[in-house]
Amino acid sequence: MDGHQDAAGSPFHKGEQTVQERLGLRDQVEAFGRRVIRNHMPDQHREFYAMLPFLLLGTVDDLGRPWASIVAGRHGFISAPDARTLTVGGRPLFGDPLNATLKPGVDIGVLGIQLETRRRNRMTGRIETVDPDGFTIGVRQAFGNCPQYIQTRTTVAAPEIGRAPTERPVSRSDRFDDQTRALIERSDTLFIATAYSDGSDAESGGVDVSHRGGKPGFVRVEGDRSFVFPDFSGNNHFNTVGNIVMNPKAGFLFADFETDDVVYLTGEAEIVWDGAEVRAFAGAERLIRFHADEVIRVEGSLPLSFDFGDYSPMLQHTGSWTQAAETLTAEAERDTFVPYEVFDVRPESETITSFYLRRADGRAPAGHAPGQFLPIRLDLPATDAPVTRTYTVSDAPNGDHYRLSVKREGGDALVSTYLHDQVTPGQRIEAMAPRGSFVLDQSSDRPAVLISAGVGITPMMAMANFAINEGLRTRKFRPIHFIHGTRSGRTLPFGDHIRSLAASHASFQAHIRFSRPDETDRLGVTHDSTGHVDIALLKTLLPLDDYDFYLCGPAAFMQSLYDGLTALGVRETRIHYESFGPATVLRSSTGIERPPASQEAAREPVTVRFSGSDVDAEWSPASGTLLELAEAAGLAPPFSCRSGICGTCATKLQCGAVDYIDEPIGPHGDDEVLICCSTPRSVTGEASCGEDHGVVLDL
């Protein structure tokens, strides 16, 4: 016995393979599946099943409808006399559809789950024999499952367990009654049965029964026949989802762990792959929506009692339907300033302080991508009108609050001075939803190299924390190289956190370089090297590989690294950078053009006249915005947000026309344009400025 599937056949059927391909996991999961999916039970599975007080089963009735069921018995009622046979010494509960579907020769799915330890193993098989005392199952596929999303409960058998089932009150309907609806809405656990067969006798087909867990209320009832719930990251086999792709029929089981009521449902399921609700529900990979055809509720039939232990630690990375609804509302008003309350203020270094903001109305904030900034508006004592600024959100999305880590700039920097000197917990600041295009590319699985200097560390912290959180949630950790330069330990923010990430996660490699360490700094303890972050350092730290580079820091710092990377042959499309100061439109000497700021931008070259400076510049899609074109031409127009919010860059349009990459909301006159988020539309001719210029700006 080789222990695994026949090398000639995949352990996955067409539906499972389709989903794996859709998500870019096909080759990886196939190789893994061939190692762990067996056509028999290993010894540890046989021992495991023998310890269980109950077993979840999935079968299909004569109408082709799947049902999820449960059988229970005294210790040892399940045994495995050999590696290919599972014997169950128990009968279905009263009212369980298994009473009708349990027949020799039919396919069956098996889930053994030990709630106390969060262990679980799965099996697909075929019923071989049925007798008054139980039944036997022939194994077709057997594999283990991860412990994610299982709530711990201690299980105690009732005195009547193992006896012939006694009659219980049963309600049958094609919709939810009040008790069924209430049970579903407060559940933190469900079991789902699905089935698929291509007509062959392939071991990859058959019936599956699986567990899903979440915070209480993770299943949202929609009307009296439907519900929907988030599907979180699992083992990537996609047994349930793959079955539904090929056959939408599904069955569900909900158990009331307080009253011992059991609800059985059968109907049709659909996969919601994307959409606003998927994106708003933290941790959701997709949604599963179910429409019931038949509902059976049996009162007090479960001969077990359950004492709750604790919720799965994985749930801290997931949201709720209330939170998702609030996030959607916040997204709908993303261009409106709303009040936020500062609930914590924490010094991070001698120059940087973090301000923690929650919506004043207690609702969830709009979501953000790691690296984006938050537009804020404040009333300052020394100004006649509110002042707008943008600061990077320095932590990963959490569905609860934002963290802004602000450097004290000194001099006439009114806002940063005010934040550091005047803002304390309890004060209010207005903010819009986060925005910005300097974000971690979540579609890439290449190692990410996060390189920063000074306060440029803030978006990198958001990206690093997000990558670690995603790794914990999906068990797939993206390699991160975190490289930061600052003057000394006194100017280093988040130092303890960075070292903690590096110590806890092999996927996270950190290197901190001090340019002027002081007497309290210790090489190898507070920092890893002395000097400035440069290409020479990168060459010593990075093994030969294909990377995505992210740069944030002073303009000269980023330009030097940008030029060095492109000189080494790194494609410019792999270099991402944050523009937060003049002359940060990076260009290399290689002649390779940067991607256009927007795929919607005009494609033809346009000659732009900056009349106040007597400068002509040719714009092309690689030039980016009009602000970036002006900077590349040696001009230094005023700006603040680079996203059309503050209005600082408003410039008189003398002739021609522009297109906005994102519709601006910042103040500007009827004859003005916001050059930070616009591109020229006019080329030449009647709609432009004559034969020589497409757009003329008073700059």
238 lies in the same domain as 312: yes
8 domain-assigned: no
Per-residue pLDDT reduced to its tens digit, 519-547: 999 999 999 999 999 999 999 999 988 99
CA dist., res. 121 & res. 113, Å (int) = 7
Average pLDDT over residues 277-285: 95
Average pLDDT over residues 147-172: 91
| Residue 333 pLDDT exceeds 70 | yes
Q: Where is the domain boundary, 381, 404, 431?
A: 431
Residue 119: strand pairing partners: 114
Average pLDDT over residues 256-264: 96
Name the residue range of residue 569's domain.
448-577
594 domain-assigned: no
540 lies in the same domain as 612: no
Average pLDDT over residues 435-448: 92
510 lies in the same domain as 427: no
Tokens of 548: 């995505």
| Residue 135 pLDDT exceeds 50 | yes
Tell me, what amino acid is at 563? D
Q: What is the pLDDT of residue 291?
A: 98
| Residue 598 pLDDT exceeds 60 | no
3 domain-assigned: no
649 domain-assigned: yes
Average pLDDT over residues 602-611: 83
497 lies in the same domain as 566: yes
369 lies in the same domain as 477: no
Provide the residue count of the chain. Answer: 699
Per-residue pLDDT reduced to its tens digit, 44-93: 999 999 999 999 999 999 999 999 999 999 989 999 999 999 999 999 99
Inter-residue contact 237 to 247 (CB < 8 Å)? no
CATH of the domain at 535: 3.40.50.80
311 lies in the same domain as 342: no
Q: What is the pLDDT of residue 305?
A: 93
Inter-residue contact 551 to 566 (CB < 8 Å)? no
CA dist., res. 592 & res. 575, Å (int) = 12
5 domain-assigned: no
Q: What is the pLDDT of residue 555?
A: 85
Q: What is the pLDDT of residue 662?
A: 73
Q: Count up the domains in the chain and report the number.
A: 4
Looking at every residue in the chain, the average pLDDT score rounds to 91
Confidence tier at 436 by pLDDT (50, 70, 90): confident
328 domain-assigned: no
Tell me, what amino acid is at 177? D
CA dist., res. 145 & res. 36, Å (int) = 10
Q: Where is the domain boundary, 263, 297, 319?
A: 319
548 lies in the same domain as 621: no
289 lies in the same domain as 407: no
Tokens 């009349």 found at = 611
Output the CA–CA distances (angstroms, integers) from residue 226 to 265, 281, 293, 351, in the order listed.
11, 19, 10, 54
For the stretch 590-598, contacts whose Cβ atoms lie closer than 8 Å and that sit 24 or more positions apart, written own/partner, are 590/566, 592/566, 593/620, 593/622, 594/622, 594/624, 595/622, 596/621, 596/622, 596/624, 597/621, 597/623, 597/624, 597/625, 597/628, 597/661, 597/679, 598/661, 598/679
Spatial CB neighbours of 201, under 8 Å, sequence gap ≥ 6: none
Q: What is the pLDDT of residue 576?
A: 94
111 lies in the same domain as 224: yes
Per-residue pLDDT reduced to its tens digit, 239-250: 999 999 999 999
CA dist., res. 24 & res. 446, Å (int) = 13
Inter-residue contact 661 to 679 (CB < 8 Å)? yes
Tokens 């893994």 found at = 32
3-state secondary structure 449-492: EEEEEHHHHHHHHHHHHHHHHHHHHHCCCCCEEEEEEECCHHHC
CA dist., res. 365 & res. 280, Å (int) = 10
569 lies in the same domain as 647: no
Q: Which of 471, 485, 472 is nearest to 517 (CA)?
A: 485
Q: What is the pLDDT of residue 600?
A: 40
Strands 134-145 and 249-255: unpaired
SS3 173: strand
195 domain-assigned: yes
148 domain-assigned: yes
CA angle, residues 622, 625, 627, in degrees to nearest 5: 125
Q: What is the pLDDT of residue 640?
A: 72
Q: Where is the domain boundary, 557, 577, 597?
A: 577
Q: What DSSP letter does each residue of 626-659 carry, written as one string?
A: HHHHHHHTT-----S-SSSSS-TTEEEEEES-EE
CATH of the domain at 355: 2.40.30.10
Tokens of 338: 């709303």
23 lies in the same domain as 106: yes
Average pLDDT over residues 265-291: 97
427 lies in the same domain as 388: yes
SS3 105: coil
Range name among 419-428, 541-550, 674-683 with the lowest pLDDT average? 674-683
Q: Which of 470, 551, 552 is nearest to 507 (CA)?
A: 470
3-state secondary structure 355-395: EEEEECCCCCCCCCCCCCEEEEEECCCCCCCCEEEEEEECC
The larger pLDDT score, comparing residue 144 to residue 648, is at: 144
Inter-residue contact 624 to 677 (CB < 8 Å)? no
CATH of the domain at 656: 3.10.20.30
Q: What is the dihedral of CA 306, 309, 310, 311, to 10 degrees?
A: -20
CA dist., res. 256 & res. 301, Å (int) = 10
Please, where are the H alpha helices in 224-355? Answer: 239-246, 276-280, 321-332
